Structure 1
Amino acid sequence: MPKIKKVATLSVLFVTLMFSLNASAQTKKKKTHSVRDSLRAAILARDSVMRSLKRSDTSVNNLLQKVEYYTSEFNQIKANLSKKLDTAEISAALPSYEKRITLIKSLIDNDKSSTLRYLYTIRDVLTRSDDQLDIWQEQLADINTKLTQNQNDLDAISRDSVLKILPADSSLATTYLIQKIAIDSKYHRLDTINKKVTVKIGLLQNRVSAVYISILDMKDQIDSKIRDFSERAVSQEYNNIWAMEADEGSDFGAATKATSDMNIKLFSFFIGRDVIIHLSGLVLLLAFFAWIRASRRKISRDNESSGDILSQANYVVKHPFVSSIIITFTLVPNFYNHPPVVVLETFLGILMVAILYLIKKVCPANMFRYMAAIFVVTFLYSLSNLYIQVTNIDRVTILLLALAASVISFSFLQKVNLDKDLYLPYSSLILKAFIFFQAVSFLCNVFGRVSLAKIIGVTSAYHLWLALAMYYIVHILMEALFLQLEAGKNSNNLTSFIDYKLLKNKFKSVLSVLVTILWLVMLTQNLSVEDTVFDFLGDFLTKNRSIGGTNTQFTFQSVIIFVTVIWLSSIASKIISYLYDVSARHANDLDVAKKKNRTSTLLIRIGVIALGFFLAVAASGVPIDKITIIISAFGIGIGFGLQNIVNNLVSGLILAFEKPIQVGDIIEVDSRSGTIMDIGIRASKIATSDGAEVIVPNGDLISHHVINWTLSNNNRRVDLIVGVAYGSNIQQVKEILFSLLQGHDDIMTEPAPSVLVHNLNESSVDFRILFWAADINTWVGLKSRVLADIYEVFAREGIEIPFRQQDVKIVWPDNLPPIKIEAPITRETKTEDRQDTTNPTNPPDQDQ
Structure 2
Amino acid sequence: MNYILTVPFFKPSLLKSIHLLLGLILFFPGSVQVFGQQQDTTSLILIDTAAKAEFTRKLQKIGSDGFLKSVEEFNASRVQGIQRSVMSQVKNTVQEARIYLGSGFDSLKIEKELALINTQREIVEKGVFDNDDILQSDRNLAVSRAILWELFDKANSFKEKIQDRSQELFRLSYEIDSLSGIEEIYKFSSDSVLAAAYAKKFVLLAKEIEPTFNALHYTLNSLDKLQSKTDEVLITLQASILEIERRRGELNREILSKEVSGFANVGFSSFSFWEVVKMSHQKEVLALILYFEIYSGRIITMLFLVLLLTFFISNVKVHVREETHSEDFENQHLVLKNPFFSSLIIIIGIFQFFFPSPPFVFYFLLWMIAGISLSILFRKFLSKYWMVFWVVVLVVFFISNSINLLLAFTQVERIAMLILSFIGVLYGIFLFANDKRVQLKERRILYFVALMLGMQSLSLIFNLYGSLNFSKALLVSGFLGVVLGIILLWAVRLINQLLALASNIYNKPDKKLFFINFDKVGEKVPSLFYMLLTFGWVILVGRNFYAYHLISGNFTNFLNAPQTLGSYDFTINGLFIFFVILVVSVLLSRIVSFFSSDPDTANAPTKRKSISLGSWLLLVQIFIISMGLFLAVAASGIPLDKITIVLGALGVGIGLGLQGLFNNLVSGVIIAFENPVKVGDLIEINGKPGVMKSIGFRSSVVNMYEGASIIIPNGDLLGQQLVNWTMGKGKKVSIVVGVAYGTDLEQTAMLIKEILKNDSRIHPQPIPRVLPLEFNDSRIDLEIAFWVTHYLEVPFVKGDIINQIDVMFKKQGIVIPFPQRDIHFRSSFETQKGDLDEYANTGSPEKD
Please give the TM-score of this superposition, normalised by the length of structure 1.
0.59
Q: Which of the residues 411, 431, 435 maps onto 1:412?
A: 431
Q: Does the 8 A contact of 2:147 with 2:287 survive in 1?
A: no
Counterpart residue type for residue 523 of structure 1:
V
How far apart in 1 are the matches of 2:632 and 2:162?
Answer: 40
How far apart in 2 are the matches of 1:634 and 1:416?
Answer: 67
Q: Deviations over 1:378-422 (max 9, x none)?
A: 4564476467677999778756754643453354357677426x5
Say which SS state the counterpart of residue 696 (structure 1) adopts.
strand
Match of 1:122 in 2: 144
Match of 2:282 in 1: 268
How far apart in 2 are the matches of 1:747 and 1:369?
Answer: 66
1:581-660 aligned at under 5 Å gives the runs: 590=606, 599-629=615-645, 631-632=647-648, 635=651, 638=654, 641-660=657-676
| Aligned CA distance change for structure 1 residues 425 and 140 (closer, same or farther; 3 Å) | same
TM-superposed deviation, 1:609: 3.6
Q: Which of the residues 465, 474, 485 maps onto 1:467?
A: 485
Match of 1:106 in 2: 129
TM-superposed deviation, 1:456: 2.5
Match of 1:716 in 2: 731
Q: Does the 8 A contact of 1:587 with 1:594 survive in 2?
A: no
Q: Deviations over 1:631-676 (max 9, x none)?
A: 3466455466534433322332343345444444444434654232
Q: Does the 8 A contact of 1:664 with 1:677 survive in 2?
A: yes
Say which SS state the counterpart of residue 645 (structure 1) adopts.
helix
How far apart in 1 are the matches of 2:352 and 2:674?
Answer: 52
Counterpart residue type for residue 752 of structure 1:
R
Q: Does the 8 A contact of 1:258 with 1:388 survive in 2?
A: no
Q: Does the 8 A contact of 2:740 with 2:780 survive in 1?
A: no
Q: Which of the residues 756, 775, 789 maps onto 1:744?
A: 756
Q: Which of the residues 231, 251, 255 maps onto 1:229?
A: 251
Q: Does the 8 A contact of 1:434 with 1:460 survive in 2?
A: yes
How far apart in 2 are the matches of 1:621 and 1:403?
Answer: 54
Match of 1:840 in 2: none
> Which stretch of structure 1 is more off in the superposition, 138-147 or 771-780?
138-147
How far apart in 2 are the matches of 1:344 and 1:602?
Answer: 39
Match of 1:427 in 2: 445
Q: Deviations over 1:436-480 (max 9, x none)?
A: 444555676688866434323321212322233445666889999
How far apart in 2 are the matches of 1:498 and 1:711?
Answer: 19
Q: Which of the residues 684, 691, 701 maps onto 2:700?
A: 684
Counterpart residue type for residue 713 of structure 1:
G
Can you give the 5+ residue segments of structure 2 that lack an aligned partner in the other structure? 1-97, 174-216, 822-848
Q: Does the 8 A contact of 2:273 with 2:412 survive in 1?
A: no
How far apart in 1 are the matches of 2:642 and 2:161?
Answer: 42
Q: Deviations over 1:310-361 (max 9, x none)?
A: 97667798768977987999889997966477x8768766765665555444
Q: Which of the residues 378, 385, 388 maps onto 1:366?
A: 385
How far apart in 2 are the matches of 1:498 and 1:660?
Answer: 21
Q: Does the 8 A contact of 1:255 with 1:391 survive in 2?
A: yes
Say which SS state the counterpart of residue 733 (structure 2) adopts.
strand
TM-superposed deviation, 1:366: 0.4
TM-superposed deviation, 1:708: 0.8
Counterpart residue type for residue 661 of structure 2:
I
TM-superposed deviation, 1:365: 0.7
| Aligned CA distance change for structure 1 residues 710 and 374 (closer, same or farther; 3 Å) | closer
How far apart in 2 are the matches of 1:363 and 1:232?
Answer: 45
Say which SS state the counterpart of residue 678 (structure 1) adopts.
strand
Q: Does the 8 A contact of 1:669 with 1:701 survive in 2?
A: no
TM-superposed deviation, 1:362: 3.3
| Aligned CA distance change for structure 1 residues 738 and 90 (closer, same or farther; 3 Å) | closer
1:729 aligns with 2:740: yes
Which of these two proteins has the greater Rg computed from alpha carbons? 2
Q: Does the 8 A contact of 1:256 with 1:387 survive in 2?
A: no
Q: Deviations over 1:65-100 (max 9, x none)?
A: xxxxxxxxxxx9xx9xxx999797489658746854
1:525 aligns with 2:546: no
Say which SS state the counterpart of residue 442 (structure 2) adopts.
coil
| Aligned CA distance change for structure 1 residues 654 and 544 (closer, same or farther; 3 Å) | same
Counterpart residue type for residue 136 of structure 2:
S
Counterpart residue type for residue 773 of structure 1:
W
Number of aligned positions between the proteins: 651
| Aligned CA distance change for structure 1 residues 277 and 219 (closer, same or farther; 3 Å) | closer
Q: Deviations over 1:229-284 (max 9, x none)?
A: 33222x4547xxxxxxx944652795584554344213124445764766979999
Counterpart residue type for residue 228 of structure 1:
E
How far apart in 2 are the matches of 1:555 and 1:91?
Answer: 35
How far apart in 2 are the matches of 1:596 and 1:346?
Answer: 44
How far apart in 2 are the matches of 1:564 and 1:424?
Answer: 33
Counterpart residue type for residue 525 of structure 1:
R
Counterpart residue type for residue 109 of structure 1:
D
> Which stretch of structure 1 is more off in the superposition, 778-787 or 507-516?
507-516
How far apart in 2 are the matches of 1:208 and 1:613?
Answer: 39
1:238-637 aligned at under 5 Å gives the runs: 247-248=261-262, 251=265, 254=268, 257=271, 260-271=274-285, 275=289, 339=359, 355-356=374-375, 358-375=377-394, 377-378=396-397, 381-382=400-401, 385=404, 401-402=420-421, 404-413=423-432, 418-419=437-438, 422-424=440-442, 426-438=444-456, 441=459, 451-471=469-489, 498=515, 519-528=537-546, 531-545=549-563, 550-552=566-568, 554-570=570-586, 572=588, 590=606, 599-629=615-645, 631-632=647-648, 635=651
> Which stretch of structure 1 is more off in the superposition, 569-578 or 775-784?
569-578
| Aligned CA distance change for structure 1 residues 412 and 446 (closer, same or farther; 3 Å) | same
Match of 1:669 in 2: 685
Counterpart residue type for residue 408 of structure 1:
Y
Counterpart residue type for residue 769 of structure 2:
A
Counterpart residue type for residue 731 of structure 2:
R
Q: Which of the residues 776, 788, 800 maps onto 2:803?
A: 788
Say which SS state the counterpart of residue 706 (structure 2) adopts.
coil
Match of 2:793 in 1: 778
| Aligned CA distance change for structure 1 residues 399 and 419 (closer, same or farther; 3 Å) | same
Match of 1:219 in 2: 241
Q: Deviations over 1:576-618 (max 9, x none)?
A: 67768699x9996658678668534444443444344334333
How far apart in 1 are the matches of 2:353 and 2:714?
Answer: 52
Counterpart residue type for residue 729 of structure 1:
A
Q: Does the 8 A contact of 2:773 with 2:782 survive in 1?
A: yes
Can you give the 5+ residue segments of structure 1 that lack an aligned partner in the other structure? 1-75, 151-193, 239-245, 489-493, 805-848
Match of 1:843 in 2: none
Q: Deviations over 1:733-765 (max 9, x none)?
A: 9779856642323556547355545987xxx98
How far apart in 1 are the matches of 2:688 and 2:358?
Answer: 64
How far apart in 1 are the matches of 2:221 and 2:638?
Answer: 48
How far apart in 2 are the matches of 1:324 and 1:751?
Answer: 56
Q: Deviations over 1:688-711 (max 9, x none)?
A: 2223222222233244x4351527
How far apart in 2 are the matches of 1:544 and 1:390?
Answer: 42
| Aligned CA distance change for structure 1 residues 600 and 588 (closer, same or farther; 3 Å) | farther
CA RMSD, Structure 1 to Structure 2 (Å): 6.2
TM-superposed deviation, 1:374: 2.8
| Aligned CA distance change for structure 1 residues 538 and 340 (closer, same or farther; 3 Å) | closer
Counterpart residue type for residue 740 of structure 2:
N
